[in-house]
Amino acid sequence: MPEIVVFAATGRSTEQKRGLCRDITEAMVRNFGVAADQVTVQIVESSLDSKSKGGVLFSDR
Amino acid sequence: MPEIVVFAATGRSTEQKRGLCRDITEAMVRNFGVAADQVTVQIVESSLDSKSKGGVLFSDR
Amino acid sequence: MPEIVVFAATGRSTEQKRGLCRDITEAMVRNFGVAADQVTVQIVESSLDSKSKGGVLFSDR
Amino acid sequence: MPEIVVFAATGRSTEQKRGLCRDITEAMVRNFGVAADQVTVQIVESSLDSKSKGGVLFSDR
Amino acid sequence: MPEIVVFAATGRSTEQKRGLCRDITEAMVRNFGVAADQVTVQIVESSLDSKSKGGVLFSDR
Amino acid sequence: MPEIVVFAATGRSTEQKRGLCRDITEAMVRNFGVAADQVTVQIVESSLDSKSKGGVLFSDR
């Protein structure tokens, strides 16, 4: 409220995900004026053969 | 048609997911007047270190 | 937590949407054991020329 | 089944959306072997001040 | 790459959305080490009678 | 830009996913007139007990 979904390829560390979720939440609070505990962030990770850019799978790059 | 996506942290049993999908489908039929077989529900589960509330990962709580 | 997104074509009344959000929330509480006030439901409506089934736009049916 | 969501900025014509939905559906049938009438595509359009690339709103470009 | 989707109720100003998209993009760059111009953010806004918390529509609060 | 998300049950081969991503990207280029390298496709796969049609889990069919 709002809810943020991050669509990403797998491969990030817990530390990276911890920092991202913290910073996106702070961005919501600062810009939208919502309380932090109202903000959920979910990172949806797909395998490298389930994501493409330019029509080419990440696993084929 | 409609399609429902449930963004959740991992950790639910098959029985819980079976009940949820059945009940959400019934809610669609009852309120939107669609046929049950037109309703798809997908639960998108992320690991506990890929979801946060209040800027804190579920794995850190 | 969980967050539910309903992808639908436009054209439902407020009464229909009120009932749907209430019933989906109850389904989450009953099956996943979460508190009702932790559940958000967002209906994402697209115009009839922005949704297709079987490759045919809803506006062309 | 599968369901495809296209996140896009507003501004496409019905003809463009008709072609896109038809072609994505054909891509699903050809590659995943599903029946066409099982495939739904929904284009989720946001206004130009609700989408950014490189941190810059489309309305500011 | 990654792509971020923000599900929100309507009612934010362009200035609020500009700041949010900028800050989320910076959060991606800082934590995930991606180039800013690879990051897209889309805010998906729904009307107040299309979103609920605790089973109650925002328009009924 | 646009970003495409495909919600699917698990079980497709890399070859199927490679073809799908390539063909959806081509569909975007052909119909929306965007450059191929601006198009991302992410396939979000859920287990067979996390997706339903007609209220019945795929794992129960």
The predicted structure's pLDDT at residue C3: 98
Q: Say how far apart CA E26 and CA D54 lie, in whole Å.
A: 9
Q: In the predicted model, what is the mean pLDDT of residues C14-27?
A: 98
pLDDT per residue of chain B (61 residues) written in tens, 0 to 9? 799 999 999 999 999 999 999 999 999 999 999 999 999 999 999 999 999 999 999 999 9
Average pLDDT on A10-27 reads: 98
pLDDT digits (tens, 9 = 90+) for D15-58: 999 999 999 999 999 999 999 999 999 999 999 999 999 999 99
Closest Cβ–Cβ partner in A25, A43, A44 for B55: A25
Q: What is the mean pLDDT of residues F46-51?
A: 98
Whether A22 contacts B52, CB under 8 Å: yes
Query: What's the mean pLDDT in A24-50?
Result: 98
Of F5, F39, F42, the CB nearest to A54: F39
Look at residue B1 in the predicted model and tell me its pLDDT: 72
Nearest to residue B54, comparing CAs of F12, F24, E35, A22?
Answer: A22
**What's the burial of E61, exposed, middle or buried (CB within 10 Å: 0-12/13-18/19+)?**
exposed
Integer Cα distance of A2 and E6 in angstroms: 7
Q: F57 with B43: CB under 8 angstroms?
A: no
Active site residue B47: no
Q: What is the pLDDT of residue B31?
A: 98
Q: Is the pLDDT of residue A10 over 80?
A: yes
Q: What is the pLDDT of residues C29-61, one digit of tens each?
A: 999 999 999 999 999 999 999 999 999 999 999
SS3 label, residue F52: strand
User: Measured between CB atoms, does C49 come within 8 Å of chain E?
Assistant: no
* Residue of A1, A2, A26, A38 marked catalytic: A2
- Average pLDDT in chain F: 97
- F1 pLDDT above the threshold of 90: no
CA distance E16 to chain D (A): 10
Hey, what are C18's tokens?
A: 């009120």
List the single residue in D3, D5, D26 with the smallest CB-CB distance to C55: D26
Record the tokens describing residue D30, joined without a space.
Answer: 């050809």
8 A C-beta contact, residue C44 and residue C50? no
Q: Which domains does chain F have, with CATH numbers?
A: 3-49 (3.30.429.10)
Q: Is it the case that residue A1 has pLDDT exceeding 80?
A: no
| pLDDT tens for each residue of F31-41 | 999 999 999 99
Catalytic residue among B1, B2, B32, B40: B2
Q: Are C1 and A39 in contact (CB under 8 A)?
A: no
Question: Please, which chains are in contact with A (at least 3 CB pairs closer than 8 A)?
Answer: B, C, E, F
Question: Nearest-CA neighbor of E26 among D59, A33, A24, A18?
Answer: A24
Shortest CA distance to B46 belongs to which of D3, E1, C2, E44? Answer: C2
* Cα of A55 vs its chain's centroid, Å: 21
Flag whether residue A9 sits within 8 Å of chain B, measured between CB atoms: no
| Assigned token pair, A6 | 């991050």
8 Å CB contact between C11 and C46: no
Q: Which two tokens stand for residue A11?
A: 């491969």
Whether residue E1 is predicted with pLDDT greater than 90 in this model: the reply is no
Residue range F36-52: mean pLDDT, rounded: 98
Residues E2-16, buried b or exposed e (16+ Cβ, 10 A)? Answer: bbbbbbbbeebeeeb
User: Is the predicted pLDDT of residue D1 greater than 90, yes or no?
Assistant: no
Does position E43 have pLDDT exceeding 90, yes or no?
yes
- Give Cα C45 distance to the centre of its chain: 8
DSSP state at residue E11: -
Query: What does the alpha-carbon distance between residue B55 and residue E33 come to, in Å, rounded to a whole number?
Result: 19
For residues A39-47, average pLDDT: 98
E41: contact with D, CB 8 A cutoff: yes
User: Chain F: nearest CA to E21, how far in angstroms?
Assistant: 14
F12 to chain D, any CB pair closer than 8 A? The answer is yes
What would the mean pLDDT of D3-22 be, rounded to a whole number? 98
Residue D8's DSSP bridge partners are D45
